[in-house]
Amino acid sequence: MHRKCNPITNEFLVTKRTPHWRITEQTAENMYIMSHTENGETKLSPLFVLSFRLMAPRKLLEAQLFNRQYHSYEDIDNIPDRLRFCRHKLGLMQKEVAQIVGIARSTYINLETGNHNGFDKTVADKLSKLYNIPVYDLLDNYNRFIAVGQGKLIREHRESLNLGKRPYARTLGVDANMIRLLENERKQISLKSWEKYFKDRITL
| Digit-coded pLDDT (tens) for 25-57 | 888 878 888 888 888 788 888 888 776 555 554
User: What average pLDDT does this structure show over 149-166?
Assistant: 96
Kindly state the percentage of the chain with pLDDT values over 90. 48
Give the separation between CA 101 and CA 121, rounded to whole angstroms.
12
Give per-residue pLDDT as tens, 52-93. 555 554 566 676 777 778 888 898 999 999 999 999 888 889
Alpha helices in the chain (DSSP H): 57-67, 79-90, 94-101, 105-113, 121-131, 141-148, 150-160, 165-172, 176-183, 191-197
* Spatial strand order in the sheet of 22-26: 22-26, 31-38, 41-48
The DSSP bridge partners found for residue 42 are 37
Q: Could you confirm whether domain 57-139 is CATH 1.10.260.40?
A: yes
Give me the CATH code for the 147-197 domain, please: 1.10.260
Query: The whole model's pTM is what?
Result: 0.59
DSSP structure class, residue 68: T
**Domain extent listing, the chain:** 10-48, 57-139, 147-197
Q: Using alpha carbons, select from 74, 80, 100, 79 the residue that is nearest to residue 144.
A: 79
Give per-residue pLDDT as tens, 84-135. 999 988 888 999 999 999 999 999 999 999 887 667 788 999 999 999 999 9
DSSP structure class, residue 135: G
The answer, yes or no, to whether residue 12 has pLDDT greater than 80, is no
How far from 40 is each of 7, 13, 32, 36, 80, CA to CA, in Å? 27, 20, 22, 10, 63
Angle at 183 between CA 145 and CA 111, to 5 degrees: 25
Comparing 18-27, 46-55, 144-153, which segment has the lowest mean pLDDT?
A: 46-55
